[in-house]
Amino acid sequence: MVILKQPDEIDKAKASSRIVAEVLSVLRERIKPGVTTRELDKIAESVTEKRGAKPAFKGYRGYPYSLCASVNEEVVHGMPSGRVLKEGDIVGLDFGVYYQGFYGDAAVTLPVGRVSEEAARLMRVTEQSLYAAIEQASSGNRLGDISAAVQETAESAGYSVVRDFVGHGIGRNMHEDPQIPNFGKKGRGIELQTGMILAIEPMVNAGRYRVKILPDGWTVITEDGSLSAHFEHSVAITDNGPEILSRLN
Ligand code: MF3
Ligand code: CO
């Protein structure tokens, strides 16, 4: 069941999503060779606490950290650790908060120092696939329009989209209906309506789409060891079209 939100609820989800955006922008400044993903987790927690919000992931199904930090062939749900980021890595940072009764959720993939042209292109295309999807997030369109936009953008660049993880509705719960696959057909699926808030999150692999989960029970990696990128925004569908909640300004 999809829960529609009133304008005052969208404002609250925006407040929460903006804290996520602020955290990601602070982390962006801190990404450089030599930093550990555990340090990033601590920074994310302290900024969140300063804003009077709660990290959304910590304790979620037993997840022990606030941030997900996924390096290179890690797709999503990488766990912060003493791992030192090095020049040429790419790192996906996925963060969520709970604030005034609503969740916000967003992710970016960032270069560590200078990266290969192949890594840069993967990140660029994955981010473009997110924006192509967001353009479809208007009332009267269908869920499949969002999914198809991601898939077409990624596949026409020679990449593949992860099948086993999806985007989601978000609101008073971190995960609400509908599930939002990153592959699908235009014109299919439920009709999009004003008042929906969607966390759209393409996960794009440079190689094949298959993934596996490491023995830690969380870290998702590409089966073929290829690089992967992940971007996510929380987006409200309004009478004036899509509104990205998880960005600054
Ligand atoms: N942003 C992810 C999601 O939408 C992260 C949640 S996984 C967690 O599902 F367990 F770390 F919380
Ligand atoms: Co999400």
* Ligand 1: nearest atom to the Cα of 56: 12
* Ligand 1: nearest atom to the Cα of 168: 4
Q: Which residues surround ligand 2, an ion (CB under 5 A)?
A: 105, 199
CA of residue 225 to ligand 2 center, whole Å:
23
Question: pLDDT digits over 89-145, tens only?
Answer: 999 999 999 999 999 999 999 999 999 999 999 999 999 999 999 999 999 999 999
CA distance to 3, 35, 42, 109, 123, per residue, from 87 (Å): 43, 11, 21, 14, 16
Backbone angles phi, psi at 173, to 5 degrees: -120, 150
Q: Which two tokens stand for residue 173?
A: 């719960």
Q: What is the pTM of this model?
A: 0.98
Ligand 1 site, residue 96, Cβ cutoff 6 A: yes
Strands laid side by side in the 176-180 sheet: 176-180, 167-169, 197-200, 233-238, 241-244
The helix (run of H) or strand (run of E) holding residue 96 is: strand 90-99
The whole-angstrom separation of Cα 150 and Cα 139 is 18
CA of residue 167 to ligand 2 center, whole Å:
6
Q: From atom 2 of ligand 1, which residue's Cα is the shortest distance away?
A: 94
The helix (run of H) or strand (run of E) holding residue 145 is: helix 143-156
Q: Which two tokens stand for residue 88?
A: 């040429």
Ligand 1 site, residue 74, Cβ cutoff 6 A: no
Bond preceding residue 178 cis, omega within 30 of 0: yes
Give the CATH number of domain 7-244: 3.90.230.10
On average, the pLDDT of the chain sits at 98
The whole-angstrom separation of Cα 74 and Cα 78 is 7
First to last CA, the chain: 31
Please give the DSSP secondary-structure letter assigned to residue 157: T
Question: pLDDT digits over 58-89, tens only?
Answer: 999 999 999 999 999 999 999 999 999 999 99
- In this predicted structure, the answer to whether residue 44 has a pLDDT above a threshold of 80 is yes
